[in-house]
A = this chain, B = another copy of it.
Amino acid sequence: MDSKEFREAAISSIDQIVKYYDTIEERKVVSDVEPGYLRKLLPDHAPEDGEAWSDIQKDVEDKIVPGLTHWQSPNFLAWFPSSSSFPAMLGEMYSTAFTGAAFNWICSPAVTELETIVMDWLAKAFALPDCYMSTGPTHGGGVIHGTASEAIATVLVAARDKYLREATKGLTGEEQEDAMAERRGKLVALGSAATHSATKKAAMIAGVRFRTISVHAKDGYRLTGESLRATIQALWAKGLEPFFLTATLGTTDTCSIDDFDSITEVLSEPAPAGHGEIWVHVDAAYAGVALVCPEYQHLTKQLSKFHSFNTNLHKWLLTNFDCSCLWVRDRAWLIEALSVNLAILQNSYTSSGLVTDYRDWQIPFGRRFRSLKVWFVIRSYGIKGLQAHIRKHVGLGEKFAELMKTRSDLFEIVTGPRFALTVFKLKGHDSAAITIDEQNALTKKYYDTVIADGKIFLSSTVVGSAFALRHCPRHSLCRGGARQEALRNPGGKC
């Protein structure tokens, strides 16, 4: 394929993509293929000779699209959104074309520098405290990871090593290594029962224990300082050492917000001698981007006392997957845990200390040019456009909850709407007499019917002991016409 053929193939692909988006609503939102469908359609080995592009492209529509679940469909109401926007797609086109491993500054200065700049832009737009800015007083800063799970694994490792360094201060060499190994065996990472499994997985990766702190319906499924204190004290009593907590802004099940005030309070209480500080990471994977709206910015009040914060632009902020933004209060914590030098990487820029080598802020060695799509998205929509997008969804969530309330004979709202997410269950004809098991069975039966019908796609969850359904609305901007214009001009009709 030469550059002329590529141009033709690319235009034809763009046309297919535009058509896909323009007709997405007509497609069944969840793929209905059977497991193993594709193996039956493809040869069992790679072709010896090259094939024509037209044959390959035909197979995209015929063999791949039927196996897609259409995340950009307005009928996809499951989990959280996985945003798409045209400016982000353009960003990925350039990023792919400029491909390189970008593991240090000189690999492509623009890759590093644009990332620092857009992460500072976002920190300001989200009203994060100054300490998370690259130019801030504590030498913090932001880095783009692929997913929140990577971000959480990274900060958990950094927290573990910070704790162990401080706990073994004064020791060196193998003596320190032995002391760290012994101490590491006592470390416990914490999350609430509503914390995303990414924290437990991060603890498994880092080789430390993990404990779950209960949450309760009476607190709206928020983690409270009181529960945290009880768990910490029980661990201390066993000779174990809690060193890390994920607090959540917008939990996966119900979008609850942990009680940052009481958590801060508990963590400022004195610990037994020899115990170190507990690193608090705030996982705001979905809801964090709502901080672009001033009406949510009071939620950042305690962040300066915490250690790190992540939110995924690829969930709700119009940036195609993957794009998880992580900020830390002191970047040295990451670098001390993750930096390894290699002779072939020596270069005068890194040695000068004037540049950032983001590979030391993450698990992977090489990096994609993800900041380009972020830059395109922010500039295309502007802060006002991004705010309008969030508020549009919040409004749709409120509308849905209002509609539910008009049929309170059928439905019971468990939580929400919170950040557009409503969690609900079915009531049953005699709601006073129904047992929780019967209600769960009823809700499950309704859910199975909706899924089998295939017109919309919801996800289910378990809240307390209740089986419940989650409704999280979508409003795609990748369409023809007036809707985008309205976003650029949020005063207009949308």
In which size bucket is the chain A interface?
35 or more
| A364/B480 contact (C-beta < 8 A), A46-B125, A337-B204, A460-B346 known | no
Q: Residue on B with the closest CB to A15?
A: B7
B86 touches A6 (CB 8 A): yes
Q: Give, as a whole number of angstroms, the nearest-CB distance from A65 to chain B.
A: 8
Does residue A137 face the partner (Cβ distance < 8 Å to B)? Answer: no
The stretch of A37-45, A298-306, A435-443 in contact with B is: A37-45
B99 touches A320 (CB 8 A): yes
A100 touches B121 (CB 8 A): no
A36 touches B69 (CB 8 A): no
Q: Measured between alpha carbons, how far is A329 from B443 in the docked complex, in Å?
A: 42
| A93/B93 contact (C-beta < 8 A), A31-B106, A105-B35, A480-B2 known | yes
B99 touches A343 (CB 8 A): no
| A7/B18 contact (C-beta < 8 A), A50-B380, A67-B108, A384-B48 known | yes
Does residue A226 face the partner (Cβ distance < 8 Å to B)? Answer: no
A341 touches B35 (CB 8 A): no
Report which of B99, B113, B363, B366 forms a contact with A363, defined as CB distance below 8 A.
B363
A338 touches B204 (CB 8 A): yes
The stretch of A143-151, A268-276, A404-412 in contact with B is: A143-151
Q: Give, as a whole number of angstroms, the nearest-CB distance from A73 to chain B.
A: 10
Q: Residue on B with the closest CB to A16?
A: B94
| A89/B96 contact (C-beta < 8 A), A2-B485, A45-B121 known | yes
Does residue A237 face the partner (Cβ distance < 8 Å to B)? Answer: no
Q: Measured between alpha carbons, how far is A368 from B147 in the docked complex, in Å?
A: 10
* Proximity string of chain A (455-494) to chain B, C-beta cutoff 8 Å, 1 when within and 0 when not: 0000111100000001000000111111111011000000
Chain B neighbourhood of A209, CB < 8 A: 177, 181
Does residue A200 face the partner (Cβ distance < 8 Å to B)? Answer: yes
Kindly identify, within residues 294 to 351 of chain A, every residue whose CB is under 8 Å from any CB belonging to chain B.
Answer: 314, 320-322, 337-338, 340-344, 346, 349
Does residue A206 face the partner (Cβ distance < 8 Å to B)? Answer: yes
Chain B neighbourhood of A31, CB < 8 A: 106, 108-110
Does residue A403 face the partner (Cβ distance < 8 Å to B)? Answer: no
* Proximity string of chain A (158-187) to chain B, C-beta cutoff 8 Å, 1 when within and 0 when not: 001100000000000000011001101110
Q: Give, as a whole number of angstroms, the nearest-CB distance from A112 to chain B.
A: 9
Chain B neighbourhood of A450, CB < 8 A: none
Does residue A378 face the partner (Cβ distance < 8 Å to B)? Answer: yes
Q: Could you list 12 examples of A-B contacts with CB < 8 Å?
A: A6-B18, A14-B14, A33-B109, A35-B109, A44-B120, A46-B379, A46-B383, A146-B366, A149-B363, A149-B364, A204-B340, A252-B344
The 9 closest A-B pairs by CB, nearest first: A67-B110, A181-B185, A71-B100, A207-B207, A6-B86, A38-B113, A149-B365, A197-B340, A50-B382
